[in-house]
Amino acid sequence: KKRSLSGIKPTGFPHLGNYLGMIRPAIDLQDDFEAFYFVADYHALTTVRDPQALRQSVYQITAYFLAFGLDPEKAAFFRQSDIPEVTELTWLLSCVTHMGLLERAHAYKAARDQGIEKDINHGVFTYPVLMASDILIYDSDVVPVGADQVQHLEMTRDMAQKFNSAFGGDFLKLPEARVREDVATVPGLDGRKMSKSYGNIIEPLLPPKKLRKQIMKIETDSKGLDDPKDPSTCNIVTLYKLFASAEELAEMEENYRRGGYGYGHAKQALFEKMDEHFAPYRERFNAIIDDHNYLDDVLDAGARKVRPTVEDVIARVRQASGLGR
Ligand code: TYM
């Protein structure tokens, strides 16, 4: 079997973009691929300063994956930091990676352009190298991600090639990003990419009342109840499309064009669809979120499952680069 690998940062609850762009696609691959998925707690430390919140978020994300159907018998689900060798490979990759490559990284450029350069720590700058190490240390074949991670995958391939050509051999395997077209960039409440940093997120497993409240905040134009509306430019329709059947979608589009159907109606329809979709997952999540022993068992077993691969790859790159005897 080929290997699928991906990671997610523990910076609070996952949002709808994480779910549709990565969590769902990743879980869907667990039958046909050997699945390795992890919570990127090292990466979160570029910003998080609250150890308790970090640990809690690791549990939340683990419970999310389990609630959504990750099968710990099939897939390995683990903490990034349970494999500290990933930081050793980060160093080896750093030594073959040009500053220029990292200066072109979107996340670093965005931080710099916002004029907060003095707040950028070295971890932010070197973030893509740690991420490349995450991927390469597991001999990964495919990496299910949203569109915002595609540049990181290109950089990963670049670093693997640099390492291989520097030391003369196929030591590191070149991975491929796998992006689902329809959910590559899930829009948030304001139509921009859904992202915690934009404050525009929908959290799918919230209790119904709170979920409804978030959905009611979706921004629209100011057309009145009676006005005909354009479904092709409306954010509510874009999200509805991801949950509704073809007939249900056609019906909403028809309502838009006809008029007499307000944005409030559309939001209510979206809420009902999402609530119906997520209710069973919410129940499963609530049943396990406080069982830290169980969640730790899952994470520990995941780390044990990936360890042989890690030891193999680390031995290979140490041998290749001249470290050790
Ligand atoms: P993170 O934690 O920001 O996001 C986790 C996953 O969710 C996807 N995603 C989205 N997809 C569609 N629409 C959106 N609005 C949206 N927002 C987020 C992301 O593309 C991602 O796949 N650097 C990574 C974590 C990471 C990683 C790795 C990923 C660390 N090491 C190795 C893959 C392989 C990150 O910050 O993702």
What tens digit of pLDDT does each residue of 287-297 get? Answer: 999 999 999 99
| CB proximity list for 5: less than 8 A, separation 6 or greater | 35, 36, 37, 38, 134, 135, 138, 140, 142, 143, 175
ipTM of the complex: 0.99
Per-residue pLDDT, averaged over 220-249, amounts to 96
Instruction: Give yes or no for residue 43 CB within 6 A of ligand 1.
Output: yes
* pLDDT for res 317: 98
Closest Cα to residue 183, out of 11, 24, 31? 24
What tens digit of pLDDT does each residue of 121-163 get? Answer: 999 999 999 999 999 999 999 999 999 999 999 999 999 999 9
Mean pLDDT (the chain) is: 96
Specify binding-site residues for L-tryptophan.
Answer: 134
Q: Which CATH number fits domain 3-185+291-321: 2.60.40.10, 3.90.550.10, 3.40.50.300, 3.40.50.620?
A: 3.40.50.620
* pLDDT for res 112: 83
pLDDT at residue 114 is higher than 90 = no
What separation in Å is there between the alpha carbon of 189 and the centre of ligand 1? 19
Task: pLDDT band for 118, please (50, 70, 90 cuts).
Answer: low
Q: Where are the domains of the chain?
A: 3-185+291-321, 205-285
Task: pLDDT band for 116, please (50, 70, 90 cuts).
Answer: low
| CB proximity list for 48: less than 8 A, separation 6 or greater | 10, 11, 54, 57
* pLDDT for res 28: 98
Instruction: Give yes or no for residue 185 CB within 6 A of ligand 1.
Output: yes
Which is the closest atom of ligand 1 to the Cα of 43? 30
pLDDT at residue 117 is higher than 70 = no
Instruction: Give yes or no for residue 9 CB within 6 A of ligand 1.
Output: yes
Task: For residues 85 and 87, give the distance between their C-alpha atoms in angstroms, rounded to a whole number.
Answer: 5
* pLDDT for res 40: 98
Decide if domain 205-285 falls under CATH 1.10.240.10. yes
What separation in Å is there between the alpha carbon of 149 and the centre of ligand 1? 6
Instruction: Give yes or no for residue 189 CB within 6 A of ligand 1.
Output: no
Contact 70, 295 (CB under 8 A): no
Of 148, 159, 197, the one to substitute when testing ligand 1's pocket (max ligand atoms within 8 A of C-beta) is: 148
What tens digit of pLDDT does each residue of 7-58 get? Answer: 999 999 999 999 999 999 999 999 999 999 999 999 999 999 999 999 999 9
Which is the closest atom of ligand 1 to the Cα of 130? 31
Tokens of 241: 């499309």
pLDDT at residue 212 is higher than 80 = yes
What tens digit of pLDDT does each residue of 270-313 get? Answer: 999 999 999 999 999 999 999 999 999 999 999 999 999 999 99
For the beta carbon of residue 139, count every other beta carbon within 10 angstroms. 19
pLDDT at residue 59 is higher than 80 = yes
